Structure formats: structure tokens, C-alpha cells
Amino acid sequence: MSFSMRKTYAPYVGPYDPCPPIRVKSYDTPPQLYLGFQPPGLEQFPPREALRRGTLWRALYSPYENPYKPS
Amino acid sequence: MWLYEKKLQYPVKVSTCNPKLAKFLIEQYGGADGELSAALRYLNQRYTIPDKVIGLLTDIGTEEFAHLEMIATMVYKLTKDATPEQLKEAGLGAHYANHDRALFYHDAAGTPWTATYIQAKGDPIADLYEDIAAEEKARATYQWIINMSDDPFLNDGLKFLREREVVHSQRFREAVEILKEEQGKKKYY
């Protein structure tokens, strides 16, 4: 896939901000923003896996984890 | 007409009695961008949308009810054995005073569901754009709830529901493309 599912930006940090600044903020840009009309013949997950993931199509699978969680 | 299958679309598992999470989850039950709003919005709009996309609204609207049922199960499991004291600590004291442990269609802040959350403008593009926005807002809501939840079983179910929002958004976007299609033109895929 030629896109990233998360984009980042660096908001202004003021000298008197009351909370410790989060210097890099991020937001989700999931695959449906890029796919356009789904072309035929895309790669599929095996049926059982598709039921678990919530989509049959690899190109539409968008994993999500809490971005605030220390990894 | 509907046929009812006596099972959930995706198994719902909860690891701890955590009524605080139920308070957040209720946003997806009776909130503006919740599953009830979604189901009623799509199943109502479908009467006045071009034939080519009626089936899509029927299918997705129906699935939203399956999601509503999953959220209800999650909320129920998180609260069913909580004591009034625990509910009070979780910020659900006001809810308990009015409803005991019964579920109710309101959002995380206690505002009751209202039909003003949904729209049927009758203009197919306006309605589908609302539907796309609704799916993205529901996806975001799932993300914010996952960010606050440390229950791995619950998050597994929430991630499934979030993925369905992604797929629904994709299909609504395709519906717009179908309606935009120039008539009488040759199609190339």
C-alpha cells in the first residue's frame, strides 16, 4: 500500500502552556479515503480470518491501536 | 421484513466488571453518531434514493442493528452485576436513579436520543454525504473509546466494529460514484 494510515503534524507549543505539550499529534487516514471505486479481483482474506477482521479485503483492512499507549 | 438470527454478528467478550466503560460505550448506543442513529438514518433514507443504491442502504441499515445489539450486550455485561455503589462511583448514579440497570437510548453525557440526530434531505448526494460523514464519526468514536479502554476482549469487539465503519464508508463512497456516473457513457474499470 502506498499510503500511511496515520498522519502527523506538529502544533504550536506556547511557553506558558499548562500541560506538558504533546509535540506531535496524529490522526487516522484509513484506506477508504484512497481506494476509489473498488476494482475487481483484489486480494481476499481466507473466510474465517475475514469474519474475525471485519472485512474480506486486505486493501480495506485498517488495524487500530491506542496511539497513547506506551509501546 | 427481517429474519432474526439468534446470535451476535461478532462474539462479545468482556474481561472485567467495569461500569465506567459502559458509561462511555453508551455513546454508540444512543448517541448522535451511534448505531441506533445509523440504522434509522439508512433504513429511512432508502425509500427516496435512486434504485441502484437502495439495496446498499437496506443492507448497511440492517447491519447497524446487529451492531446495536453488540453494544447493548457489552453495556449489559459491564453493568449487570455492579452494585449501586459501584455504579455511583462509575458516574452512573443518575442513570441508576432513573433506570436501575436497564439500558436506555442516551449518549455518554446522558442526553436522550433524538430524531434531530439524523436527516433525510431527499437529495441523494446530500444524503449519501451525510452517511459517509456518519461512518467516519462513528469510526472516530470507536477510536476514542478504545483509547480509554484497557479491556483487551472488549477492544477486540470494538476494533471489529470500527473496521465495519471503514467498509461502510467505502461502500457509501462507491454509491456516490455510481450516482455520479455519466449516463450513456462507456464504463471502464
Residue B22 is placed in which grid cell? 459502559
Residue A2 — very low, low, confident or very high, per pLDDT cuts 50/70/90? Answer: low
CA dihedral B58, B59, B65, B70 (to 10 degrees): -170
B7 touches chain A (CB under 8 A): no
Residue A69 is placed in which grid cell? 499507549
For range B9-16, the mean pLDDT: 95
For cell 461500569, what's the residue?
Answer: B19
Tell me the domains of chain B and their CATH numbers: 19-107+118-180 (1.20.1260.10)
Nearest CA in chain A to B163: A54
Q: Which of B95, B130, B135, B136 is catalytic?
A: B135
Query: Any idea where the domains of chain A sit in the sequence?
Result: 26-63
Does residue B20 surpass a pLDDT of 60?
yes
Query: Pick from B135, B134, B125, B127: which is nearest to B179 by CA?
Result: B125
State yes or no: is B67 an active-site residue.
Answer: yes
Q: Judge whether B42 and B54 are in contact, CB under 8 Å.
A: no
CA distances from B25 to A21, A38, A44, A61, B18 (A): 28, 32, 31, 23, 11
Residue B182 — very low, low, confident or very high, per pLDDT cuts 50/70/90? Answer: confident
Does residue B38 surpass a pLDDT of 70?
yes
Which residues in chain B are closer than 8 Å to A28, comparing Cβ atoms? 139-140, 143
Residue A6 DSSP SS3: strand
**Predicted local confidence at residue A71, as pLDDT:** 67
State yes or no: is B64 an active-site residue.
Answer: yes
**Predicted local confidence at residue B183, as pLDDT:** 76
Residue B64 is placed in which grid cell? 447497524
Does residue A70 surpass a pLDDT of 90?
no
Nearest CA in chain B to A40: B189
Report residue A40 CA to chain centroid gap: 23
- pTM exceeds 0.80 for this model: yes
Full DSSP string of B7-51: S-SS-----S--HHHHHHHTHHHHSTTSHHHHHHHHHHHGGGS-H
Other CB atoms within a 10 A radius of the CB of residue A19 amount to: 5
Q: Which of B27, B63, B64, B130 is catalytic?
A: B64
B167 touches chain A (CB under 8 A): yes
* Residues forming beta bridges with residue A8, ordered by sequence position: A26
B174 touches chain A (CB under 8 A): yes
Report residue A9 CA to chain centroid gap: 15
Which residues in chain A are closer than 8 Å to B161, comparing Cβ atoms? 54
Does residue A1 surpass a pLDDT of 90?
no
Percent of chain B whose pLDDT exceeds 90:
95
Q: Judge whether B139 and A30 are in contact, CB under 8 Å.
A: yes
A37 touches chain B (CB under 8 A): yes
Q: What interface predicted TM-score (ipTM) does this complex get?
A: 0.90
